[in-house]
Structure 1
Amino acid sequence: MNLEPKPATNKGSDDWFNGDVYVDPIAMPKDGDQRMIVSRVRFTPGARTAWHAHGRGQTLHITEGVALIGTRDGTVIRATPGQTIYTPPGQEHWHGATPDDFMEHFAMLEDAAGSDARDGWYEHVTDEDYDAAAGA
Structure 2
Amino acid sequence: MQLHRHPTTKNPPEQFTGDVWLDPVATPGVDGQQASAGIVRFAPGARTAWHSHPGGQTLHVVEGIAFVQARGGERVAVRAGETVICPPDEEHWHGAAHDSFMTHVAVWDTLPGQPAAVWGEHVTDAEYGA
TM normalised by structure 2 equals: 0.94
Give the structure 2 partner of residue 121 of structure 1. Answer: 119
Alignment gaps of 5+ in structure 1: none
Q: Give the counterpart letter for 1:128 in structure 2.
A: A
The root-mean-square deviation of aligned C-alpha atoms, in Å, is 1.1
How many residue pairs were aligned?
129
Kindly state the Cα deviation for residue 5 of structure 1 after the two structures are TM-superposed.
Answer: 2.5
Shift of 1:107: 0.4
Q: Does 1:131 align with 2:118?
A: no
Q: How far did residue 31 of structure 1 move?
A: 3.9
Aligned counterparts, 1:30-41, within 5 A = 30-41=29-40
2:56 is the counterpart of 1:57 = yes
Aligned to 1:43: 42
TM-score, normalised with respect to structure 1: 0.90
- Partner SS state of residue 108, structure 1: strand
User: Does residue 1:77 correspond to 2:76, yes or no?
Assistant: yes
Q: 1:74/1:26 Cα in 2 relative to 1: closer, same or farther (>3 Å)?
A: same
Give the number of the structure whose residues are more often strand, by fraction. 2
Residue identity opposite 2:34 in structure 1: R
Shift of 1:17: 0.5
Cα distance in 2, alignment partners of residues 82 and 95 from structure 1: 16
Moved segments of 4+, more than 4 Å: none
